[in-house]
Structure 1
Amino acid sequence: MAENDPTHAVAQALAAAWQGGQTTSAQPWALADAAAAYAAQDALAQAMGWFPPGPARHWKSGGPNRQAVLTHAPLPPAGVRCSPASYADMLFHTIGIEAEIALRLGQAVSPAQAAALTPETAGMFVDAMAVSIEIVDSRWAEGGAAPALLRLADLQSHGALVLGEWLPYVARDWAAQRCVARIGQHEPVVRTGTHPLADPVWLLHTWLQHATRQGATVAAGTVVTTGSWVGMLPAQRGDKVEVEFDGVGSAAVQL
């Protein structure tokens, strides 16, 4: 990747922001398409030294509905913690909270296996599920107002991920699934059946095809968090965040 390539420049700007614990303006930058944004993700991860060779072990994936193009991002391992978690040692800028279900692969998935998957068959690779809390943050000073491709390059505005206790995966009536999110002293946010794709498993085939696109196998134990049931809720330093999914479990984090 040439140093004057826009993808390289975006990755370097983001790496400097990550390393300096600061934000940077998105205004000087532009990316041509999603392929360029994913290339910037890869270059950023390489600059930061986040991952060994091969696909990352933690991911986020999702989209606003089944008709939309789903997006994916690998997650830096230092920000992935088990509930109850504390992030007093990490710097965030503008904090958003998403209440999610994470899924874990029970076996490795090769590129050939991923290519053959459908929404109906991808669930056979999942062995466990857990409540997860994603902390949303941005290295762009414009935050959510930055261009979509630049947000995608910035790990789809990822800050950190909290994982609750794992339990065996079983198909559920997700349309009846109740979720409660509590943030600080605010009134609890209660939602039922509000996963944007109706079923968290629905995105697995698309995510696995993306994760194996460079020819590497995704390892057993790899985790993907699958989209928010409550949209993105504002939070601030000092808040305690608790998320509970009836029949699945809970997770908590101190910001």
Structure 2
Amino acid sequence: MTTSMTALADALIAARRNNRTLDAAPWTDALQDATQAYEVQDAVAAALGWFGDDGAVPRHWKSGGGSRSATLTHAPLPPAGVRQGPAEFSDLAFHTPGIEAEIALRLGQDVTPAQAAKLDHGNAASLIDAMAVSVEIVDSRWQDLAATPALLRLADSQVHGALVLGEWQPYAAVDWASQRCETKVGNAKTVVREGTHPLADPAWLLPIWLRHITRHGQTAPAGTVVTTGSWVGIVPCRRGDQVTVEFAGIGAVRLRV
């Protein structure tokens, strides 16, 4: 890594270890492209011992983008923050958390780099054996997230805080354009959305995500999970809030922030 990349990784590692946030301004020019941001992701994860040292593909990921024409981004998720619902997070520190209501997908078979290279948007869904309602708690090591450049967000695990998974259901074709999602946070009004996944179909990202996670030559094992992007944007929340997310016909999940 470059000197600036190493310094950025060290700053993010210290921020996580000491439960503090960083001013993004001094780091604006630290990264030149997404490849460098992913290297910083990996350096932070290695220093904090998130995934061990056997070189295996992490088992939980986030992936997504604002539209099919956007460049999708990806981040492996620290195991300590991945929980089965109902869940609570009084043991974890958050700075300015928010809620994203999502659908998670689970690989039903191993996927080699060679297989990933050949996938397209029409056949990748055949690799999925199950889906679940999921809630990502978004949180950042950057003090002013709105003013933080995209590459710095990406380096910071794409501003991930924690993940809750609902019960797994067999994966089946869904009319995503009419799928209803209800998100209730604390005493706020329930947020209701229909057909608002930014990629139209959560499974559309699978070929891109799988090529990313196998890019260093590892095989993605059966059981690897990816959460696929928010249907409601980021809904603000506070510590202690009760959160309920329901996707009609698929399931629901509850958590306390």
Match of 1:36 in 2: 36
- The amino acid that maps onto 2:11 is A
Q: Provide the rounded CA distance (Å) in 2 between the counterparts of 1:179 and 1:101.
A: 10
TM score, norm. by length of structure 1: 0.98
SS at match of 2:6: helix
Match of 1:245 in 2: 247
Q: Deviations over 1:55-87 (max 9, x none)?
A: 110000000000000000000000000000000
Match of 2:56 in 1: 54
Match of 2:204 in 1: 202
Task: Choose from 123, 127, 130 the match for 1:125.
Answer: 127
Give the 5 Å matches for 1:216-235.
Answer: 216-235=218-237
SS at match of 1:204: helix
Give the 5 Å matches for 1:1-255.
Answer: 1=1, 5-29=3-27, 30-52=30-52, 53-255=55-257
SS at match of 2:10: helix
Q: Deviations over 1:110-147 (max 9, x none)?
A: 00000000011110110000000000000011223211
- The amino acid that maps onto 2:104 is A
Q: Deviations over 1:144-177 (max 9, x none)?
A: 3211100000000000000000010001100010
- The amino acid that maps onto 1:38 is Y
CA contact (8 A) 1:137 1:143 kept: no
Q: Provide the rounded CA distance (Å) in 2 between the counterparts of 1:95 and 1:135.
A: 6
* Percentage of matched positions with identical amino acids: 62
Q: Deviations over 1:170-193 (max 9, x none)?
A: 011000100000000011000000
Q: Provide the rounded CA distance (Å) in 2 between the counterparts of 1:250 and 1:71.
A: 26
Q: Provide the rounded CA distance (Å) in 1 between the counterparts of 2:78 and 2:24.
A: 21
- The amino acid that maps onto 1:123 is A
User: Where does structure 2 lack aligned partners over 5 or more consecutive residues?
Assistant: none
TM score, norm. by length of structure 2: 0.97
Shift of 1:6: 1.5
- The amino acid that maps onto 1:240 is Q
Runs of 4+ in structure 1 deviating by more than 4 angstroms, as ranges, are none
Q: Provide the rounded CA distance (Å) in 1 between the counterparts of 2:100 and 2:139.
A: 11
Q: Deviations over 1:87-109 (max 9, x none)?
A: 01100000110000000001111
- The amino acid that maps onto 2:112 is S
Over the residues paired in the alignment, what is the CA RMSD in angstroms? 0.8
